[in-house]
Amino acid sequence: MAPKTPAPSAPFEGFADPSMGFFKALDAHQDRAWFLANKARYEDEWQAPMRGLLAAVQRRVAPKYKGFVFREPKLFRIYRDVRFHDEKQPYKTQVSGLLGFPNPREYAEAPAVLYLQIGLESSFAAAGLWMMDAVHLAAYREAVLDKKRGAALLKIIEGLTAKGYSFEGGVPELKTAPRGVAKDHPRIGLLRKRGLATTFPAFAPSLIGSPAFADWVVTHSLEVVPFVKWLLTM
């Protein structure tokens, strides 16, 4: 089945203000009246370019994911749910988006082709599966324990690490071996993980103001295709 084509969006020409003046002002105010008065600025300077960037990246990487159906690129809300967050400011000082596939099961996430965040606290690009549910985790451990599939993942990780990618999960890994696994297993480091994602090499802040940023994101998203496809088929 062919990947789903993203909805039309404006071509990506770069984010208008790499200095993040809007987010700095939002951080200083953090109130509803100010945000509503400046919401159009957020939509024009950050939401629309992010939407265009995600659409452009999806079009260019989709041929590498033949047989997988993309969901619509996702933009995360700027509103912070302060009920479940230590940070009590009501607005996030960032824009973030995701490229990926429909969730395989209710409450389960599919591996992400790309997660991109640009903001005051941190700006980075990444891909993978940050937190595995019980079904994902069982399949992951079975695949890592398999000599051929486990060795293939280790080779992918070693190759990407040599190019400046880093690997982690969204939840702390086990401090010891999973039940039934020897503590000296040759891939014990992978077997202790409960999520596995890769963060791309850092990009220069000024790059986000250029159309060339789309090329940078595409280049790195293509490099991690073997890793994401391993997660998709484990």
Whether the per-residue pLDDT at 183 is higher than 90: the answer is yes
Percent of the chain with pLDDT over 90: 84
Q: The tokens of 133 are what?
A: 């549910």
CA 88 to chain centroid:
24
What's the pLDDT at 9?
67
Which residues are registered as beta bridge partners of 117? 96, 124
pTM of the model: 0.90
What's the pLDDT at 161?
98
CA pair distance 201, 205, nearest whole angstrom = 13
Whether the per-residue pLDDT at 5 is higher than 60: the answer is no
Report the 3 state secondary structure along the chain.
CCCCCCCCCCCCCCCCCCCCHHHHHHHHHCCHHHHHHHHHHHHHHHHHHHHHHHHHHHHHHHHHHCCCCCCCCEECCCECCHHHCCCCCCECCEEEEEECCCCCCCCCCCCEEEEEEEECCCCEEEEEECCCCHHHHHHHHHHHHCHHHHHHHHHHHHHHHHCCCEEECCCCCCCCCCCCCCCCCCCHHHHCCCCEEEECCCCCHHHHHCCHHHHHHHHHHHHCHHHHHHHHCC
CA 201 to chain centroid:
13
What's the pLDDT at 82?
67
Whether the per-residue pLDDT at 7 is higher than 60: the answer is no
| Per-domain boundaries in the chain | 21-232
Whether the per-residue pLDDT at 36 is higher than 70: the answer is yes
What's the pLDDT at 2?
45
Decide if domain 21-232 falls under CATH 3.10.110: no
Per-residue pLDDT band at 4 (split at 50, 70, 90): very low
Residues 41-66 pLDDT 10s: 999 999 999 999 999 999 999 999 99
